[in-house]
């Protein structure tokens, strides 16, 4: 099994609804995001997936979130913009981007809110 991982970053603001503590207030993060793809078969030139193609798909998701107020952005206008919900949303969107490549699978999305705090989503 091969794994390919990229790291990208974006900045966004949010406030957690129904949370009692500092994070219920308006604040922002400089997020770091790892997306890992896996598969067992390489293409004719020896790649599982081209890093450029993976980054393009991930950027289509993260660019919509970058420098945004997440609470107003679907789906976070309906669900809390927690790191957990954000990681799953990123995962779901990247899966859509790979719909035409059944030989690869999105393995995980890891999202850091700070240098010391992250969440990982795996299906």
- Strand order of the β-sheet with 117-121 is 68-69, 2-14, 27-39, 105-114, 117-121
Query: Is residue 33 annotated as a catalytic residue, yes or no?
Result: no
Q: Which of 14, 29, 89, 113 is catalytic?
A: 113
User: Around 51, how many Cα atoms within 13 Å sit in the side-chain half-sphere?
Assistant: 6
Q: How far is Cα 3 from Cα 88, in angstroms, rounded to an integer? A: 19
Query: Is residue 27 annotated as a catalytic residue, yes or no?
Result: no
Q: Which of 7, 23, 27, 96 is catalytic?
A: 23
Q: Which of 7, 24, 27, 67 is catalytic?
A: 67
Q: How far is Cα 13 from Cα 67, in angstroms, rounded to an integer? A: 7
Query: Is residue 23 annotated as a catalytic residue, yes or no?
Result: yes
Catalytic (active-site) positions: 23, 67, 113
């Amino acid at each position: 099994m091969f794994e390919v991982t990229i790291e990208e970053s974006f900045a966004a603001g949010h406030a957690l609804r129904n949370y009692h503590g500092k994070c219920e207030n308006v604040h922002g993060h400089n997020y770091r995001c790892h997306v890992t793809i896996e598969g067992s078969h390489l293409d004719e030139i020896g790649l599982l997936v081209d890093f450029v193609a993976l980054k393009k798909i991930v950027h289509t998701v993260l660019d919509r979130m970058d420098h945004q107020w997440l609470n107003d952005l679907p789906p976070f206008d309906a669900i809390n913009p927690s790191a957990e919900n954000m990681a799953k949303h990123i995962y779901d969107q990247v899966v859509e981007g790979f719909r035409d490549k059944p030989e690869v699978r999105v393995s995980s999305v890891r999202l850091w809110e700070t240098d010391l705090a992250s969440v990982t989503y795996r299906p």
